[in-house]
Structure 1
Amino acid sequence: MAAALARPAAQQPDWPDPKRVRDACETLREAPPIVTAAETRRLLGRLAAVARGEAFLLQSGDCAETFAGNTEAHLRANLRCLLQMAGVLMHSAEIPVAVVGRIAGQYAKPRSAATDALDLPVYRGDGVNSHEPVRAARTPDPDRMVRAHAHAAAAMNLVRVVSHAGVEIFSSHEALLLDYERALLRPEPGAARIDSGSAHFLWIGERTRQLDGAHLAFAELLANPVGVKIGPGTTPEEAVAYARRLDPDRTPGRLTFISRMGFRKVRDVLPAIVERVTATGHPVIWQCDPMHGNTHESPSGYKTRRLDEVCDEVRGFFEVHRALGTHPGGIHVEATGDEVTECLGGDQELSDADLVARYDTLCDPRLNTRQALTLASFVGELLRG
């Protein structure tokens, strides 16, 4: 394992004290896993049905979880929004839905620069540093990984409580912070791959999907289902290489490609990728992230997204798969049950002037519940064909 991970690792914190990192990782290695292998196997079975075209994958939640926001009220609101979206899809499209939250571990974020406008270390998520604009608070603190584990475990306990009342909800996050992820691997004697105890489903982001990088090497080790975000710069050859590396046994549900092309590019870029991967015979899941490729700065200076552009990327995603005869297997969105005003449009007709009312996110803008349900209804109509 050490040899496989001794590769360049993008987007990692500049920890100031290596001994404290080692101590934090040792604490995590001795801590109970947040998820169990049995739960992860159940998710793999659900995802296998998606890969066969028999079900749909709904993945949604906060852009970045925070310690302060890890309250019962906020978690229940997000889970309620997720389940309402799933209910809309199941009712309108009459198809089983695998429900996966961006929850119980989304405490690290990739960033486009190492410093911010104040020349401070950039905020990389509560699992690394604080959003407070003070140098001491922005200095990466490895003890925050231990706090992230505790918060994730608490959130997962509530997820299980809610799941027992109806639909089973699985957890996911971006496998970004490799010190944290490595410490939560839970090897089983004789197993070909290693279970991650940090989440049921882990994905590799657009900024860390380098074929010679540590993140892809890490994902190769996992027994968990994994995803890869693919943006408009992804080539068909790269996508095929990901499939061969991450799904060598051609296991349905093992690998999800999460396309994040933007509404202007999805119809032009995605077809060649889908065609090439499909021709290899790898039974991957095709999922649409219509959020990240459609982010822009509003006139008032807020990072935002337009719901109509989000919907148009989803429409383009479905058009591509319908034309190729492949299954448009899911959506991956950032949404919250809180009544935020971070994205434009929807039946509330939120405008640039409304963003200031409740712009709570510390990273990317999220759909509020009404916008999320509008999107779910739109997707349901597309699924009905």
Structure 2
Amino acid sequence: MSTIAKRANKIEVPDLMEGHGWHPLSWNDKEIEQLPEYPDTAELQAAFEELKSLPPLITSWEIEALKEKLARVSKGEAFLLQGGDCAETFDACRSPKLVNLLKVILQMSFIMIHEMGTEVVRVGRIAGQYAKPRSKDFEEVNGEKMLNYRGDLINSFKPDVEARKPDPRRLLEAYQKSALSLNFLRALSDEGFADLQHPEQWELDFMHNNEFYKDYESMVASINNAIKFMETITPNRFNTIHKVDLYTSHEALNLFYDSAQTRRVPRKQGWWNLSSHMVWLGNRTQQLDGAHVEYLKGIQNPVGIKVGPPFDLDNLLSMLDAINPSHEAGKIVLITRMGHGQVEKNLPSFIRAVKQNGHPVVWSCDPMHGNTYSTGNNIKTRKFEEILDEIRMTFDVHRSEASYLGGVHLELTGDNVTECVGGANGLNEDGLSHNYETYCDPRLNYEQSLEMAFLVAKEWNRSYR
């Protein structure tokens, strides 16, 4: 099996879809990257049909609301914070993990709102981010060749030949875990967990030693004072300070999963992927005549597009025309992932070309994926300073091009992991093994994430105030 383009397992297309233009399985006639063959197509068909029959995870109204907010971001009127796990795992569908991730996303947005004075749109890499592309199809473990782990949606992390075979039952388990995660997160977001009158409740113990802790305490006091003042001069209760919106996103990699949950809705035009509010197109699946672009051009959801090496400006412009031919605002989020050494060289030409073509995109910066390296002990990690450097340089380039950098896209966790080096507390490579949990790429831990929020806000203010 190879990551070169190939034909995926064929799913039967209902007669009512045939001959009527784009439909959720149009991509099944295209060649596809990064999706290995399932050993049993009949099992895959059965899992697909069952998943297709299950209730949607989200609604079209929520998708439209997110698209409206992203349109505001594209105009420079808001900021996008997108973050979460590199790849979720089924075993991590536990309340402490979900609570900690929601805490860190809320707290980061709280810092940005206070420091930047602008609306922050929160999008989690959560409730569906169970698949990952890989640069190699196979690995060797203890002398035995087996398929690479591609995320729990496809196969098992267990180093066993049979466990690494793609299993269609995982499509259903991913749906179930996503539903559980989403239900719990919604309950927390709607019932006072995000109460701005008590932001100190969001705190986790290991923040105390960070150099920004005093700034955080000052912000808590400032917001509490502002809320108390408003409530003394009006008899109305401010419900909006007790609830927040958190949208979900994942990479549209396993198209069997996404297309099974793609459907029409009453009184609206088009097709909607109701497994996630937003999906994105990874760097390895951007073939114009391939399956992933074919799928994404037919859905109403906002679509992210990763922009990074190998750089192909013409391909990007053609993808924009294919996925968003009407130039709809809020539809496209361009997520640049250049690597800190490539930003100044490559980003300006992309900004100019997109402007010239008239696409009203949201520009976001993914400073994680271009700055990954392995230590001498073969531990995959990232340097906090290089992540920050890419963000700084991206802000600088956008400012020089009279463009608006409207978001950041971060791999992070609310847990106290040791996966990225650097930050205020100076984690070094020797400390990585202390609590290294990720099965895929290294994430910022809670404290590094909050520190990054302060520094992103500082760069935003330097560029746009």
TM-score band by shorter chain is over 0.9
- How many angstroms apart in 2 are the aligned matches of 1:275 and 1:5? 35
Report matched runs for 1:185-334 at 5 Å: 185-188=262-265, 191-334=268-411
What CA deviation, in whole Å up to 9, does each residue of 1:118-158 have, x standing for no partner?
21111111111110111121111100110000000111111
The CA deviation at 1:8 is 1.1
284-293 or 237-246, larger mean C-alpha shift = 237-246
The CA deviation at 1:212 is 1.2
Answer whether contact 2:27 2:290 (CA < 8 A) is retained: no
Corresponding residue SS for 1:346 = coil
Answer whether contact 2:26 2:294 (CA < 8 A) is retained: no
Count how many residue pairs are aligned between Structure 1 and Structure 2.
385
What CA deviation, in whole Å up to 9, does each residue of 1:238-273 have, x standing for no partner?
221122111111111100110000000011111101
Report matched runs for 1:102-121 at 5 Å: 102-118=125-141, 119-121=145-147
Matched, 1:148 2:159: no
Matched, 1:157 2:183: yes
- How many angstroms apart in 1 are the aligned matches of 2:26 and 2:374? 42
Matched, 1:99 2:122: yes
Corresponding residue SS for 1:120 = strand
Aligned to 1:72: 95
Answer whether contact 1:300 1:352 (CA < 8 A) is retained: no
226-235 or 45-54, larger mean C-alpha shift = 226-235
What CA deviation, in whole Å up to 9, does each residue of 1:50-106 have, x standing for no partner?
011100000000001001001011011011111111111111111100000000000
What CA deviation, in whole Å up to 9, does each residue of 1:295-338 have, x standing for no partner?
00012210000000000000111011000111101000100001
Matched, 1:353 2:395: no
Matched, 1:174 2:251: yes
Answer whether contact 2:398 2:405 (CA < 8 A) is retained: yes
Report matched runs for 1:37-76 at 5 Å: 37-76=60-99
- How many angstroms apart in 1 are the aligned matches of 2:139 and 2:57? 33
36-45 or 288-297, larger mean C-alpha shift = 36-45
Unmatched segments (≥5 aa) in structure 1: none
Corresponding residue SS for 1:325 = coil
Answer whether contact 1:286 1:327 (CA < 8 A) is retained: yes
Unmatched segments (≥5 aa) in structure 2: 1-22, 193-242
Q: TM-score, normalised by structure 1?
A: 0.98
Answer whether contact 2:60 2:265 (CA < 8 A) is retained: no
- The one-letter code sitting in structure 2 at the alignment partner of 1:130 is S
- How many angstroms apart in 1 are the aligned matches of 2:62 and 2:187? 14
- The one-letter code sitting in structure 2 at the alignment partner of 1:245 is A
- The one-letter code sitting in structure 1 at the alignment partner of 2:58 is V
What CA deviation, in whole Å up to 9, does each residue of 1:263-294 have, x standing for no partner?
00011111101100011111001000000000
- How many angstroms apart in 2 are the aligned matches of 1:162 and 1:12? 35
What CA deviation, in whole Å up to 9, does each residue of 1:12-62 have, x standing for no partner?
122100000000000100001111111111111111100111000000000
Answer whether contact 1:224 1:254 (CA < 8 A) is retained: yes
273-282 or 187-196, larger mean C-alpha shift = 187-196
Percent identical among aligned pairs is 41
Equivalent of 1:137, from 138, 150, 163? 163
The CA deviation at 1:3 is 4.0
Answer whether contact 1:250 1:283 (CA < 8 A) is retained: yes
- How many angstroms apart in 1 are the aligned matches of 2:267 and 2:320? 24
